[in-house]
Amino acid sequence: MRNDTILLEHGSGGRASRRLVEELLVPYLKNQVLERLDDHAEIEFEGTRLAFTTDSFVVDPIFFPGGDIGKLAVNGTVNDLAMGGAKPLFLSAGLILEEGLPVADLKRIMHSMAEATEKAKVHIVTGDTKVVAHGAADKIFINTAGVGLIPKGVALSGHRGEVGDRVLISGPIGEHGIAVMAQRSGLDFVASCKSDTAPLADLVAQMLNAYQGIHSLRDPTRGGLAATLNELAEQSRIRIEVEESAIPITESVESACELLGLDPLHLANEGVLVALVPAEGADLVLNAMRNHPLGHKAQIIGEVYSKKLPAVILRTQIGGKRVLAVPTGVQLPRIC
């Protein structure tokens, strides 16, 4: 750790976040389950495999096109469980409220969480609420933890990538990132982007139904597709090559990125997943995705080429090649 204070960058999902976790947090809490650093923990318990995960939500603004912090909190944890192949069952919700938060806003968020749990077919069975003085939190922070059951035969992990695996993505990138950025003052642009926040457990179930041998699933949240592909490359020690022109992206997101000088590969997604699938199962999984409402724009975007030095290479739109690096810093609009 090179800094003496925590910076925003440490939470942005890129290089600094990884260093914080790997160099400061994990060393204190050492254990084999944690050290796998998947988005979920897998615990074997009397013949049953449980998936267990936690996530905190501090998004600002708390209301944005397509959702709010409550919906995000439910879907985010459901998705972390889903990435482990688990059927999400029960969630907890811890609320930290800033003094002065309008009750109407809290009601809106609770309503949203209720809707999201219904859609995701989970229940929030326990919770906690704290209120802190004005200024000690930003309106509302939510932590959700979740448990789910992993069916027999399913073994998903970031460590399982193999040469020949195809890289699949379920939908267009950057929707959530742009939807949130459009709300920020000082940027003042109008785009029709809505957050793509959605529960992916059902999509995952369909994918596993079609082909149980999927190696890895990951949802590219903070840090975007670039961060996620690099995590998978690191965990499995693989070289992944991705075709830029195959990555689905909507015109709105692409244009907003051009305008602000943002890289869509670094933007957060909340309703998209990436899969590493052995070649023999790739088309089966792709079809299953395309037959699901949350995967109808799914694409095969790349392949795992070797298993030595972890790297993610992008074949560019015009046929060039370049490294797709782990994002650094917080995504900020640029003029340069």
* 332, HSE (Cβ side, Cα atoms, 13 Å): 8
According to DSSP, residue 238 is labeled: -
Contact track, other proteins, 157-196, x by CB under 8 A: -----------------------------xxxxxxx----
**Under a CB-based contact definition with an 8 Å cutoff, are residues 146 and 90 in contact?**
yes
- Min. distance of Cβ 184 from other proteins in angstroms? 9
Which tokens is 184 given? 């920020």
- Min. distance of Cβ 248 from other proteins in angstroms? 15
Residue type, 184: R
Contact between 252 and other proteins by CB under 8 A: the answer reads yes
Work out whether strand 239-243 and strand 311-315 pair parallel, antiparallel, or are unpaired. parallel
Closest CA to 297 of 198, 208, 211: 198
Strand order through the sheet with 87-98: 41-45, 48-57, 140-150, 87-98, 123-132
Which of positions 189-248 make contact with other proteins (CB under 8 A)? 189-192, 239, 245
- Min. distance of Cβ 327 from other proteins in angstroms? 9
- Min. distance of Cβ 181 from other proteins in angstroms? 11
3-class DSSP state for residue 145?
strand
Kindly report the number of other CB atoms within 10 A of residue 60's CB atom.
Answer: 12
Contact between 293 and other proteins by CB under 8 A: the answer reads no
- Min. distance of Cβ 313 from other proteins in angstroms? 6
Contact between 256 and other proteins by CB under 8 A: the answer reads yes
Contact between 318 and other proteins by CB under 8 A: the answer reads yes
Contact between 316 and other proteins by CB under 8 A: the answer reads yes
Contact between 24 and other proteins by CB under 8 A: the answer reads no
* 13, HSE (Cβ side, Cα atoms, 13 Å): 22
Q: Which of residues 107, 111, 121, 321 is near other proteins by CB under 8 A?
A: 321
3-class DSSP state for residue 313?
strand
Contact between 314 and other proteins by CB under 8 A: the answer reads yes
Residues that bind other proteins (CB under 8 A): 2, 5-9, 15-16, 19, 186-192, 239, 245, 251-252, 254-256, 258-261, 306, 308-309, 311, 313-323, 325, 328-329, 332-336
